[in-house]
Amino acid sequence: MDQSKIRNVAIIAHVDHGKTTLVDKLFHQSGMFRDNQQVAERMMDSMDLERERGITIAAKNGSYIYKDYKINIIDTPGHADFGGQVERVLRMADGVVLLVDAQEGPMPQTFFVVKKALAANLPILVLINKIDKEAARCEWAVDEVFDLLVRLEAPDSTLDFPVVYGSAKQACMVADYKEPLVPGQGMDLISEMIIKHVPPPSGDPKAPLQLQINTIDYSLYLGRLGIGRLMNGTLRLNDNIAVARRDGSIKPVRISKIFAFAGSEKVPVESAGTGDIVAIAGMDDVTVGVTFTDPDNPKPLPLIEIDPPTISMHFIPNDSPFAGQDGKFVTSRHIEERLNRETLADVALHTEPLTEGVGFRVSGRGELHLSILIEKMRREGYEFQVTRPHVIMRQEGGKTLEPYEALTVDVDEKYQGAVIEKLGRLKGVMSDMKVHNGMSRMIFKVPTRGLLGYRSQFMTDTRGMGVMNYVFAEWGPHAGEIQNRQNGVLLVKENCVSVAYALFNLQERGTFFIGAGEPLYVGQIIGENSRGEDMVVNPAKGKKLTNMRASGTDEAVILTPPRQMSLEDCIAYINDDELVEITPKVIRLRKQSNVRIKG
């Protein structure tokens, strides 16, 4: 295709501001689907976990035709834990469309993704989304975007950004937010804005080939696929080319398949030119950052720099009494192979064998980053255990530094006192507070350690109505000891099956995580004690039977429903001497094997 008719644009935004929905509507409006064709919502979120959680975990590529232009769309994750992907895929773009919720305005992850776009010197186009909300504040949202760009020292040309308004969900856009919204009309405004303000891709089609791999995909038939943009040159099917690896070595490769994007689908093509975004097959061990180049005149592109990980956990083989009952892959070798495979696609993930004992130290960008990996492995049939997450510290000038987060919370005014009190205990310092229509927005600087496991406590304190978001702020001095948990736990005395009568008699002692009829083992954590110390209990102790008839009817056994603990809740809950046991069917909490259970 004519290089001047190509536009490569990334969609960036805070979590849940409507990126993937917008891409859906752009594809529909382009006429690429029949009226009666069944198309899934959020088609770019192809992973089961993405659909279940309503977030984008992995960056996706797609394209559509508008008039005689081909617009390549890159749908990026909004969560900072997947920021490594945002950094990489922005290399494929010549501009970005920034989505901002008309009610919430720029949020912490907005700051994060905009910072990455400015670092790449990309023009920023603004779309104020969800203006059909009752509490929408369009002018305020635009002003906040401007202030954000000023704080990030954006160039003057970027400060004069174009703006459109609308509702991606209703597929309608307007040039002025005061105009009425008509569902299904106005989406052309976005395409026109992209064509006008995003430059065509630069590069020389006659220069030596340069294509850097920014993301990895997988095909059951073709194996690993490398996705990237041709910076220079032309790529043809069955070409013999060279691959410049991350270690500097050069390897000859033959291209077996080239795919272009049409909608969210991959379409095989014979060749691709400068500016095209393609997926290519032919190299089984392709990794992010390698450059496909001319074998006679290799010119590798600079390696992609990735922000270092901030959180680490230990992944170890399961050694509980129930080990091997559910999992298909249970050995240390199985876990090692799976982790190595993940690091090929996710360069923000680091793994290394433990120096003491069997297992691996896995480091990532945050709790969500690692919990997504754990959930993927669990669904694939892996069985293992993980330790409590630990923040990775730095040593500089003889001092210990730790990462701090900029935390933004939006809560009802009546809950702000409880939030301030809890964050104070977690070494959080408030830097700003604004109140609008009974809602309070507070900004804190908190050690990353303090936020591990805080989300569930925050939701309890705000009755599920609060919103909290955070993004890395800076490295700062070590804040001292932070208590992870106020209460002790309820531990199982011996291998048994839980009995309703026993749980009924014990439920005054604390809160249970399990119900009746569940198989348990010694050292398993089945609840939280109402006091600060751990307590060993017998959840299988039944009622003593006699041959004497009771003078009155027995009291009914009424159990309080157990607290449902998600994977993230379990990981955030445990202390240093505890583990989360992960199997395909169940998630359990337990004390480590070397901890003696007294009771």
User: Residue 580 maps to which CATH number?
Assistant: 2.40.50.250
Which pLDDT belongs to residue 146?
Answer: 93
Which pLDDT belongs to residue 140?
Answer: 92
Which pLDDT belongs to residue 195?
Answer: 93
Q: Are residues 81 and 220 in the same domain?
A: no
Which pLDDT belongs to residue 127?
Answer: 92
430, β-bridge pairs:
444
Which pLDDT belongs to residue 306?
Answer: 66
Neighbours of 524 (CB within 10 A): 26
Which pLDDT belongs to residue 17?
Answer: 63
The answer to which of 47-56, 122-131, 557-566 has the lowest mean pLDDT is 47-56
Q: Is the alpha carbon torsion for 97, 99, 102, 106 positive or negative?
A: negative
The answer to which of 17-21, 230-234, 474-478, 556-560 has the lowest mean pLDDT is 17-21
Which pLDDT belongs to residue 551?
Answer: 44
Last residue of a domain, one of 354, 387, 420: 387
pLDDT of 223 higher than 60: yes
**Alpha-carbon gap, residue 297 to 521, rounded angstroms:** 64
Residue 182 sits in a domain of what CATH number?
Answer: 3.40.50.300
pLDDT of 78 higher than 60: no
Which pLDDT belongs to residue 37?
Answer: 41
Torsions phi, psi for 202 (to 5 deg): -85, 175
Binding site annotation covers 24? Answer: no
Over the chain, what is the mean pLDDT?
Answer: 83
Binding site annotation covers 18? Answer: yes
pLDDT of 538 higher than 80: yes
Q: Are residues 49 and 125 in the same domain?
A: yes
Q: Are residues 240 and 326 in the same domain?
A: no
Which residue matches tokens 């912490």?
108
Please report whether residue 302 resides in a domain: no
Give mean pLDDT, residues 462-481: 83
Binding site annotation covers 19? Answer: yes
Please report whether residue 322 resides in a domain: yes
Please report whether residue 189 resides in a domain: yes
pLDDT of 150 higher than 70: yes
Please answer whether residues 372 and 577 qualify as being in contact, where contact means their C-beta atoms are separated by less than 8 angstroms. Answer: no
Which pLDDT belongs to residue 314?
Answer: 95
Report the run of H or E that residue 251 belongs to, with start and end: strand 250-254
**Alpha-carbon gap, residue 133 to 209, rounded angstroms:** 48
pLDDT of 259 higher than 70: yes
Counting Cα atoms < 13 Å in the Cβ hemisphere of 428 gives 27
**Percent of the chain residues topping a pLDDT of 90:** 23
Give mean pLDDT, residues 430-453: 86
Decide the pairing of beta strands 69-75 and 6-13.
Answer: parallel
Which pLDDT belongs to residue 28?
Answer: 76
**DSSP-H helix ranges across 304-440:** 332-345, 367-379, 416-425
Binding site annotation covers 132? Answer: yes
Q: Are residues 425 and 559 in the same domain?
A: no
Please answer whether residues 75 and 19 qualify as being in contact, where contact means their C-beta atoms are separated by less than 8 angstroms. Answer: yes
Q: Take residue 492 and report the two structure tokens written for it.
A: 């199982």
pTM equals 0.74
**Alpha-carbon gap, residue 432 to 410, rounded angstroms:** 12
The answer to which of 6-15, 129-138, 189-198, 298-307 has the lowest mean pLDDT is 298-307
User: How many domains does one find in the chain?
Assistant: 5
pLDDT of 85 higher than 60: yes
If we measure between CA atoms, which residue out of 229, 315, 305, 240 comes closest to residue 273?
229
Please report whether residue 18 resides in a domain: yes
Residue 371 sits in a domain of what CATH number?
Answer: 3.30.70.870
**Alpha-carbon gap, residue 532 to 488, rounded angstroms:** 5
**Alpha-carbon gap, residue 562 to 526, rounded angstroms:** 10
Binding site annotation covers 129? Answer: yes
Please report whether residue 121 resides in a domain: yes
- Give 249's pLDDT tier (boundaries 50, 70, 90): confident
Please report whether residue 203 resides in a domain: no
Q: At what angle are helices 108-119 and 138-151 packed, to 10 degrees?
A: 50
Q: Are residues 51 and 190 in the same domain?
A: yes
Residue 241 sits in a domain of what CATH number?
Answer: 2.40.30.10
Q: Are residues 8 and 154 in the same domain?
A: yes
324, β-bridge pairs:
none
The one-character DSSP state at 560 is P
Give mean pLDDT, residues 134-140: 89
Which pLDDT belongs to residue 40?
Answer: 42
Please report whether residue 125 resides in a domain: yes
Burial class (CB in 10 A: 0-12, 13-18, 19+), 517: exposed
Range of the domain at 578: 489-545+553-591
Q: What are the contacts of 154-163 at 24+ separation with CB within 8 A?
A: 154/118, 154/124, 157/123, 158/118, 158/123, 158/124, 161/123, 161/124, 161/125, 161/126, 162/125, 162/126, 162/193, 162/196, 162/197, 163/126, 163/127, 163/128
Last residue of a domain, one of 358, 387, 416: 387
**Alpha-carbon gap, residue 136 to 140, rounded angstroms:** 9
Which pLDDT belongs to residue 451?
Answer: 85
Q: Is 555 in a helix, a strand, or coil?
A: coil
Burial class (CB in 10 A: 0-12, 13-18, 19+), 400: exposed
Residue 497 C-alpha from the chain's centroid: 37
Which pLDDT belongs to residue 105?
Answer: 86
Give mean pLDDT, residues 579-585: 94
Which residue matches tokens 């920034």?
98
Please report whether residue 175 resides in a domain: yes
Q: Are residues 317 and 452 in the same domain?
A: no
Q: Are residues 48 and 105 in the same domain?
A: yes
Which pLDDT belongs to residue 44?
Answer: 43
Give mean pLDDT, residues 237-246: 84
**Alpha-carbon gap, residue 263 to 526, rounded angstroms:** 48
Q: Are residues 121 and 258 in the same domain?
A: no
Which residue matches tokens 């270690």?
247
Q: Are residues 407 and 452 in the same domain?
A: yes
Q: Are residues 267 and 335 in the same domain?
A: no
Binding site annotation covers 408? Answer: no
Q: Are residues 471 and 519 in the same domain?
A: no
Per residue in 42-77, pLDDT (tens digit) is 444 444 554 444 555 556 788 888 888 999 988 877
The answer to which of 40-44, 242-246, 374-378 has the lowest mean pLDDT is 40-44
Which pLDDT belongs to residue 585?
Answer: 92
Which pLDDT belongs to residue 114?
Answer: 87
Which pLDDT belongs to residue 81?
Answer: 56
Q: What are the contacts of 158-162 at 24+ separation with CB within 8 A?
A: 158/118, 158/123, 158/124, 161/123, 161/124, 161/125, 161/126, 162/125, 162/126, 162/193, 162/196, 162/197
Binding site annotation covers 130? Answer: yes
pLDDT of 487 higher than 80: yes
**Alpha-carbon gap, residue 253 to 211, rounded angstroms:** 13
Last residue of a domain, one of 367, 387, 407: 387
